[in-house]
């Protein structure tokens, strides 16, 4: 599925961007699913997050995770086979998250989502 150059980029840089993997119809369905699940506003000041759907960073409600359109992308054959190839191992979906970044919205600086000093006795390859 991937070229040697793409494998090398993933190994050396830790990321690989693929364009035009999904059809316009698939992306339209994803847009419609996002519209069905606008982000929740918990009333907390989040700095430059914004007001949906204006430019910003958003977290979708947990109930949206069961939407068949989101599940479709998480389990998409291209996603699963690509992950398996890049990780050179079987893949297991244990969780998935939809990061909604509208055009013009700010990103996040490099950060850790998990405490690095708490070893849990296992080693995983993560793929986002």
Domain ranges of the chain: 4-39+51-101
User: CA 58 to CA 100: how far, in whole Å?
Assistant: 5
User: With bands split at pLDDT 50, 70 and 90, how would you rate the model's confidence at 47?
Assistant: low
User: CA 110 to CA 87: how far, in whole Å?
Assistant: 22
Question: Residue 24 corresponds to which tokens in the numbers above?
Answer: 């316009």
Residues with Cβ within 8 Å of 108's Cβ and at least 6 positions away in sequence, in order, are 57
- Cα angle 3-101-2, degrees, rounded to a multiple of 5: 5
Q: How does the average pLDDT of the chain come out, rounded?
A: 76
Give the model's pLDDT for residue 121: 52
User: CA 5 to CA 69: how far, in whole Å?
Assistant: 32
Cut 0.75: pTM above it: no
Higher pLDDT, 114 or 37: 37
Question: Residue 39 corresponds to which tokens in the numbers above?
Answer: 């982000």
Question: Residue 117 corresponds to which tokens in the numbers above?
Answer: 């000093």
Higher pLDDT, 120 or 74: 74
Asked if residue 97 has pLDDT above 90, the reply is no
Give the model's pLDDT for residue 14: 82
């Amino acid at each position: 599925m991937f070229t040697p150059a793409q494998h090398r980029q993933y190994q050396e840089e830790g990321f690989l961007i693929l364009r035009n993997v999904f059809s316009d119809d698939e992306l339209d369905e994803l847009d419609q699913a996002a519209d069905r699940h606008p982000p929740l506003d918990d009333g907390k000041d989040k700095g430059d997050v914004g007001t949906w759907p204006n430019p910003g960073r958003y977290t979708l409600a947990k109930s949206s995770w069961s939407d068949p359109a989101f599940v479709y992308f998480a389990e998409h054959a291209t996603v699963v086979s690509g992950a398996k190839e890049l990780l050179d191992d079987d893949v297991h979906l244990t969780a998935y998250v939809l990061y909604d970044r509208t055009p013009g919205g700010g990103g996040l600086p490099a950060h850790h989502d998990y405490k690095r000093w708490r070893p849990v006795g296992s080693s995983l390859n993560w793929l986002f």
